[in-house]
Structure 1
Amino acid sequence: MTVSVLVPSSLTREAEDKREATRKLGYVARAATVFRVDRLLVYPDRDGEDGRFDGGFVRTVLRYAATPPYLRNEVWGMRDELEYAGILPPLRAASQTGSESNGSGSSRQGIVTEVGPDQRVRVNCGLQHPISLNVPPNMEVVEGERVTVRISSRRPVRAKLADEPLPGLSVERTDLSAALGREDAGVRIAASRFGEELTVGRLETLAGRVERDGMTVAFGAPERGLPDILGIEAPALAPSDSTDGTGDEVEPSDPGFDLWLNTIPDQGSEVVRTEEALFATLAPLSLRA
C-alpha cells in the first residue's frame, strides 16, 4: 500500500517571511511523517505563488526536512532557501521508515563518500564512521549518490548496499495529472470543504479501499482551495444522486479524483490551514477497516 500526498507550490503564499514559510513547511513534513506517507509531491500552482517562495523553495525545504539529520550537511551544504532550517521540527521517523532507525535489521539512507577499486565504496550512513561496502553486481554508484544500506548488526557492524528505493519520505515535484495517473495512486482523494462530508459510515467503506489499494490525497493552498487552483466550479463537486458512496463515479468537471472529501465538515474557523488539513484528513484515513 502506497500513500501519497499532494501539496501546491503556493503552499507558503500567506507567510510573512522566510522564517514563517519554513516553519509551515516543517509542520507539513511532520504530518507526512506521523502518518507514514511514502511520497510528498509538490504540484505547480504558479498563479497562486507570491513570487518570494515558489515551488523550488517549497520542494527544497521539504526535501531537506525529509533528509536524515546525519546527512543534511553533506547533502545540502549552505543554501539561501535553508536560512531558517534550524527551526524545522525534528521528524524522528520510526524505524520502519529506515531514515532514523538505530537498531539492527534496518534500512538507512547513506551517501557515497568515496568510490574505490574492486567494487568497494565508502558510505556515510550515520554510524560512528563511514563504512566500506561491496557494490552488488549490476549496481553502479558514484561519489555523492544517496544509497540504501541494510544493517544486520551494529556491534560489530555488518551491512550491505541494497539496490532498492531509498527508505523514508520521498519528496518530488510533479504535475497533478501525472500523480493521479500513477498505477499505484490508489484511491484518489481531493480534500476540500466543498466535498462530501466524512461520516463514520462513509469512513468504514473508504477505509477498506485505502487499506487495500493505498491512496493519493491532494490539498489546496491558503485562501486558494483545489477548485480555484484547478479552475473548476465548486458546486459541481457535490456527489450526484447516482453515486453509491464508494467514489467510483467521477463528476464531469472532476480532473481525475475518485472522491472529493470534506474531513472537517463543521469547521469552527473560516480558514483551515493546509498543514492543519493534513493532520485532520490523514488521521481518519489512516484508520484500518
Structure 2
Amino acid sequence: MREYLRPLRDFPRLLIAIPSSFVENDSLLEASIKLGLIARSAAIFRVEEIQIFRDHLDRNYRRNMILMKDILSYMETPQYLRKRLFGIKKTLRYVGILPPLRTPHHPLVEDIKEGEYFFREGVVVSSTKSGSYIDIGFERPIFIKEPLRKGSRCTLLVRLKGDIIETRLWTKDKIGIYWGYSIKTYDSLQELIKTHSEKTLKIATSKYGDLIMNVFDELSTELRRKKYVLVIFGSKRGLFEIAKSEGTILRKLVDYVINTIPRQGVESIRSEEAVLATLSILNILKYLKSS
C-alpha cells in the first residue's frame, strides 16, 4: 500500500493538450481560476507536459496563449524563484488567489534537514567560463563549476553540513519522483499531433466519442505498450469542430476519441472538469494494467 503513496515518475508519461480557446472570452479573473484548476489537476496526476495549441477559430489566440503559458508556468515554478523569473506582469494579477501545488519540487523550509541530500530548483543569476551562480532560495546564490545560460532553470542535488553547502548539477530524469510539468505551444492541433511518434498513445476527449467502458480493456493494453499518453481536451468548441476548422478529421489524427463521462447530468462539461474526470480514470487504468 505504501508504495502507492509516493509520486513516482513512471510510465507511460502523461501529457495533456488544451486549445487557446480554453480561456476565450473569459475575464482575467475567470481565466486565472480556470487555469489554476488545470495546474492542480496536472500536478495531482503527475502530468509531465501541458501542450497549448492554437484554435484557428479563436480570434484572440495570441493573447490567450500568452496568458495560459504565463499562469501555468508561474504556478509550476517554486515560490522562491517566481519574483526573479516573472517580475510584475499584468497576466499574473490574480495568481495570489490560486491554490499552491505543493509538489515535491515546491519544498517548505522545514522540509530541509541538515546532513541529508535533497533536490532544489534554481535559476542561473550569472555565468562565466569558470562556472555559474545559482539562486536556490537561500540567503546567497550558490556557485557551481558548470557554465550555464543566465536566466535558465536548473536542478541541483544539495546537502547542508554546518556552514558548508554541497551541490551537484542534476537532471529531472534522474530524480525518480514527480518534478512538475513543462509547457509547450503549437500553432495548430495538427502541428501538435505531428510532433508525437508511435511511442505516444493519442487520445481525444469528446461527448461524441466512444464510451470509456467500451474501450477500457483496449486502453489498458495500449498503456502497457506506450512510453507516453497524450490526452487532448477541447473548449466550448469541441475537438471535432476544431479539427474541422483545420480541414481535417479528428479520428484520423488520434488513436482514440473517448467519452469519459457517460450519461453526463449537465448540458456541457467544462474543460477543467473534463481534465479532472479523465485523468482520474486514466490513473486507475494505469495501475490496473498489470492485473
For structure 2, the 5+ residue unaligned runs are 1-11
Matches within 5 A, 1:247-258: 254-258=251-255
1:95-106 matched pairs, under 5 angstroms: 95=104, 98-100=105-107, 102=111, 104-106=116-118
Aligned 8 A contact 2:203 2:229 in 1: yes
| 1:5 equivalent in alignment to 2:19 | no
Aligned residue number for residue 22 of structure 1? 32
- The question of 1:170 aligning with 2:182 is answered yes
* 2:168 equivalent in structure 1: 160
Q: Counterpart of 1:239?
A: none
- Give the AA of the match of 1:110: G
1:254 alignment partner, SS class: helix
Counterpart position of 1:144: 151
| 1:1-289 alignment runs, 5 A limit | 1-15=12-26, 17-49=27-59, 53-93=63-103, 95=104, 98-100=105-107, 102=111, 104-116=116-128, 119-135=130-146, 140-151=147-158, 153-156=159-162, 157-162=165-170, 167-174=179-186, 175-181=188-194, 182-183=196-197, 186-199=200-213, 202-213=215-226, 214-222=228-236, 224-231=237-244, 254-287=251-284, 288=287, 289=289
Moved beyond 6 Å, runs of 4+: none
Structure 2 residue identity aligned to 1:261 = I
Q: 1:256 to 1:123 in 2, by over 3 A?
A: same
What is the CA deviation profile of residues 63-98 of structure 1, one whole-angstrom value per residue up to 9, with x for unaligned ones? 1121121111100001111111212221111x2xx4
Q: Per-residue CA shift, 1:17-49, capped at 9, x if unaligned?
A: 211111111101111111000000000014135
| Cα 1:87/1:231, change in 2 over 3 Å | same
Query: Do the aligned partners of residues 169 and 45 (structure 1) sit closer, same or farther apart at CA in structure 2, a change above 3 Å counting?
Result: same
Give the C-alpha shift of residue 230 in structure 1: 1.1
Output the CA distance in 2 between the equivalents of 1:128 and 1:225.
49
Q: Report SS of the residue matched to 1:268.
A: coil
Contact 2:56/2:242 (<8 A) preserved: no
CA distance 1:185–1:69, shift in 2 (3 Å): farther
- In structure 2, the CA distance between the partners of 1:88 and 1:49, relative to structure 1 (3 Å rule), is farther
Q: Which has the higher helix share?
A: 2
Cα drift, residue 204 of structure 1: 3.7
Residue identity opposite 2:20 in structure 1: S
TM-score (norm 2): 0.80
How much identity, in percent, do the aligned residues show?
Answer: 29
Aligned amino acid, residue 53 of structure 2: Y
The residue identity in structure 2 corresponding to 1:209 is: E
Partner SS for 1:126: coil
- Classify 1:253/1:39 alpha carbon distance in 2 versus 1 (closer, same or farther; 3 Å): closer
- Greater alpha carbon shift after TM alignment, 51-60 vs 69-78: 51-60
The residue number in structure 2 matching 1:236 is none
Which SS does the other structure have where 2:277 is aligned? helix
CA contact (8 A) 2:240 2:250 kept: no
Residues 178-207 of structure 1 show CA distances to partners (whole Å, capped at 9, x for unaligned) of: 3323237621000110100011x6324313
